[in-house]
Amino acid sequence: MHELSFPFRAMGSPCELRLTGRVPEDVRRVAELAIAEVARLERKYSRYRNDSITTAINRSAGSRRGVEVDPETAGLLDYAETAWRQSSGLFDITSGVLRRAWDFKAGRIPGDDELEAVRARIGWQRVLWQRPLMVLPIAGMEIDFGGVVKEYTADRTAELCRRAGLRHGMIDLGGDVSLVGPHPDGSPWRIGVRDPRRPQEALVTLGLERGGIASSGDYERCMVVDRVRYGHILDPTTGRPVEHGLVCASVVAPHCLVAGSAATIAMLLGADEGPRFLTTLGLPHVWLGPEGAPGGTLAAPPDALRTPTAATPRPRASSLHR
């Protein structure tokens, strides 16, 4: 068996495929297909492209005509609606407009009037979604698939590899990981969740055979103004950074998409409610509290973590792997 590595960049992140097969040429062929699939989904859902479905929907804001979407996009919208309901409105793909108010690079804090104006354009409850028609009824509203599309792409790419005949491999899209299957000898992939306080070290190291892992954190982008720290995890219900939040959260799930949204919701819920939410999901997880103490079912790392069986609905998710 031959294990090959295919590094590339996509979705603003360094990515890597680690695929194993009997014939190297076949592995390379599947890798080309997988990388093409990542590129397809990036083109389709990027908010930066004029020809993406995201841009088409956002351009239609303010019109009751809306946009008819394809089944794949409809599935993502259905998932986003489910995550919004299960998070009591915190996981909201219409909240991306807040990035226009908060400029973390310039260290600019928006005023109350500005935030109120932006918040008037936020809220999945304002969206008119009835398959296949998507309507953003208020001018200036936007959707942003950024909270789901990278994790969804990781899962799609892993499934593509399996359908192409590969049984062993790992898809890593900027730290959002979906596994094709274990190593040929049945051993798990060793995946480390990076410690944000010590980036060269792992907070925990897990052994995964299949499923996915994703992380969310409040350590890569922030600003300090007048000695007050403002994190980039923004609460769509207030328009402001989450206060008393977790430093990071990582979740293991049967699908990377589920893991990613669960980790994001935990961050939005904060240091008190976030851990409780993760516990109710019944999925393996680890989090780092504001005082620097880890918690969660994976806080004391096991020798190997087997496939999770529960099925429940990111900064960058960080991983280190063998």
Separation CA 85–CA 93 (nearest Å): 12
What is the arithmetic mean of pLDDT over 2-23? 96
Q: What is the DSSP letter of 97?
A: G
Give the per-residue pLDDT at 65.
94
Q: Does 182 fall in a domain?
A: no
Quote the number of domains for the chain: 3
Give the per-residue pLDDT at 307.
42
Q: Which pLDDT band holds residue 228 (cuts at 50, 70, 90)?
A: confident
What is the arithmetic mean of pLDDT over 196-222? 85
Q: Mapping DSSP to helix (H, G, I), strand (E, B) and coil, where does residue 12 land? A: coil
Which two tokens mark 230? 């403002």
What's the pLDDT tens digit per position in 139-148?
999 999 999 9
Separation CA 282–CA 317 (nearest Å): 20
| 31 and 84, same domain (yes or no) | no
Q: What is the average pLDDT value for the chain, to the nearest integer?
A: 89
| 234 and 289, same domain (yes or no) | yes
CATH number at residue 108: 1.10.3980.10
Q: Mapping DSSP to helix (H, G, I), strand (E, B) and coil, where does residue 43 land? A: helix
Residue 212, pLDDT above cutoff 60:
yes
| 8 and 42, same domain (yes or no) | yes
What is the arithmetic mean of pLDDT over 111-115? 91
Give the per-residue pLDDT at 300.
63
Give the per-residue pLDDT at 302.
47
| 203 and 288, same domain (yes or no) | yes
Separation CA 55–CA 247 (nearest Å): 32
Separation CA 320–CA 303 (nearest Å): 16
Separation CA 67–CA 60 (nearest Å): 7
| 27 and 59, same domain (yes or no) | no
What is the arithmetic mean of pLDDT over 179-188? 96
| 226 and 301, same domain (yes or no) | yes
Q: Does 238 fall in a domain?
A: yes
| 132 and 192, same domain (yes or no) | no
Helical spans, DSSP H, in 203-283 = 256-281
What is the arithmetic mean of pLDDT over 151-172? 98
Q: Does 179 fall in a domain?
A: no
| 115 and 163, same domain (yes or no) | no
Name the pTM for this structure: 0.90
What's the pLDDT tens digit per position in 306-318?
444 333 333 333 3
| 133 and 149, same domain (yes or no) | no
How many Cβ atoms sit within 10 Å of the Cβ of residue 167? Answer: 13
Give the per-residue pLDDT at 219.
66
Domain span at residue 206?
Answer: 188-321
Separation CA 202–CA 194 (nearest Å): 4
